[in-house]
Amino acid sequence: MCFLQNTQIWRKNPTITPMDVKKANLFSNSKTRKINPNWFTAKVHMTEISGIIDSKEQNIYHVYFENGAKTKVHVHDGNQILIVTKGIGVLETFAKKGNGKDNFGIKRTKKISLNLGDVAYIKKGTLHTHGSADKKRLFSHIAINILPAKGKKYKTTWYESDFKTLARNIIK
């Protein structure tokens, strides 16, 4: 029944073909993405999903945080969606205080617990951090980084921080 319905849709709209759908398994042998360890507080690794399904509108990664690891404070130029796949994590957002580009005050505005199955939306330009809330267990999530414009690269700016009052020194 489903195949017949899809065939009828394809006949009505010839721009839709069976090849417009691609599938991958999160737990298959995906390509490991090389990451800068200075972006994180402890060991983190990630696999790339978007390349497997040939996604052009977003970058998709499965990110694994070990032993309480979390991201350094950072900001994206595109929206981001996190989908928790294992463990207990935390998402914190911050307000920027001052006009400095690479040295400014911060104040935490939200601290959100992340649990298996949770989906979090982070609007572009939001200063934030996310990662494991448990120093003994693995935490993982899918990160969907929505490109800010067609053909434009997704940009993240990373900062050193005390996670309380100060962000400084852009991490290259």
CATH of the domain at 40: 2.60.120.10
pLDDT of residue 56: 84
In a domain, 30, yes or no: no
Is 29 inside a domain boundary?
Answer: no
Band (95; pLDDT cuts 50, 70, 90): very high
Q: Is the pLDDT of residue 13 over 80?
A: no
Look at residue 161 and tell me whether its pLDDT is greater than 60. Answer: yes
| 20-29, 49-58, 79-88, 120-129: the lowest-pLDDT one | 20-29
Is 3 within a domain?
no
Structural domain range at position 100? 36-171
Does the pLDDT at position 102 exceed 60? yes
15-55 residue pLDDT tens: 555 557 877 777 776 778 899 999 999 999 999 998 888 88
> What is the mean predicted confidence (pLDDT) over 57-61?
92
3-state SS assignment for residue 35: coil
Domain assignment of residue 20, yes or no: no
Give the residue-averaged pLDDT of 125-138: 97
Question: Over pLDDT 90: what percentage of the chain?
Answer: 67
Domain count, the chain: 1
Whether 104 is in a domain gets the answer yes
Residue 114 located in a structural domain:
yes
Residue 95 falls within a domain, yes or no? yes
45 located within any domain: yes
